[in-house]
Structure 1
Amino acid sequence: MPTIGSSPEWVKSSLSFANGNCVEVANLSGDEVGVRNSRDSAGAVLRFTPDEWHAFIGGVRNGEFDRFGA
C-alpha cells in the first residue's frame, strides 16, 4: 500500500494488447483498489473497497462475465 503523499504503483496486465486496449490496477490510499484506462492515465479512476474487489475477481475466476464483450 502506498504511503500518504506517494503515487500509486499502477500495474498493467501481462495479457494487454500492443494497441493499448487494457486497464491498470493499483492499491490506493484508504484501502481502496483503483482501476483506470491505461490510455488515459489522467482520466477517471474507478475505486473499489477490498470486499468489492474480491467479489469482482471471484466472479471473473468463476466465468460470470465471460458472456460480456464476446
Structure 2
Amino acid sequence: MDHTYNGMPARDLTELTGAAWRKSRYSNSQGNCVELAELPDGAIAVRNSRFPDGPALIYTRAEMRALVLGVKDGEFDTLLV
C-alpha cells in the first residue's frame, strides 16, 4: 500500500481505487458536499465532491470520532451562524 498523507491528490490514492465514497443526505444539488471513504487500514479519507481528483485529507478513526461527537454536541454550531 502506498503511503498516504494529508493533502495528496485523491487520484493518487491507490487505496481509493473503487472506494465507496459517501456523502451526507444533507448535501445539496449545487455540489456543496464533502465525501468520505474508508481506507483499507481503517483511516478515513475526506474530499470535496466538486473536485474529486483534488486533495484528500486523511484522518484516523479516533480523529473522526472526536469530530462527529463534537458536531453532535453542538461544539461547532457557531461556525454556521
Do Structure 1 and Structure 2 share a fold, with TM-score over 0.5? yes
Q: Distance in 1 between the 2:46 and 2:61 partners? A: 13
User: Which TM-score applies when normalising by structure 1?
Assistant: 0.86
Moved over 6 A (4+): none
Identity %: 40
User: What is the aligned partner in structure 1 of residue 80 from structure 2?
Assistant: 69
Partner Cα separation in structure 2 for residue 5 and residue 20 of structure 1: 21
Specify the code of the residue in structure 2 equivalent to 1:40. F
Q: Which runs of no fewer than 5 residues in structure 2 stay unpaired?
A: 1-14
Matches of 2:32 and 2:16, distance apart in 1:
29
The farther-off stretch of 56-65 and 28-37 is 28-37
How many residues are matched? 67
Structure 1 or 2: more helix by fraction: 2
Paired amino acid for 1:20: G
Deviation sequence 1:6-56 (CA, Å, 0-9, x none): 421001111111111110011012211111100000011111101111011
Higher relative contact order (CA 8 A, sep 6+): 2
What are structure 1's unaligned runs of at least 5 residues?
Answer: none
Instruction: Tell me the C-alpha RMSD between the 2 structures.
Output: 1.6
Q: In the alignment, which residue of structure 2 is the partner of 1:58?
A: 69
Give the TM-score taking structure 2 as reference length: 0.75
Q: Which amino acid aligns with 1:10?
A: W
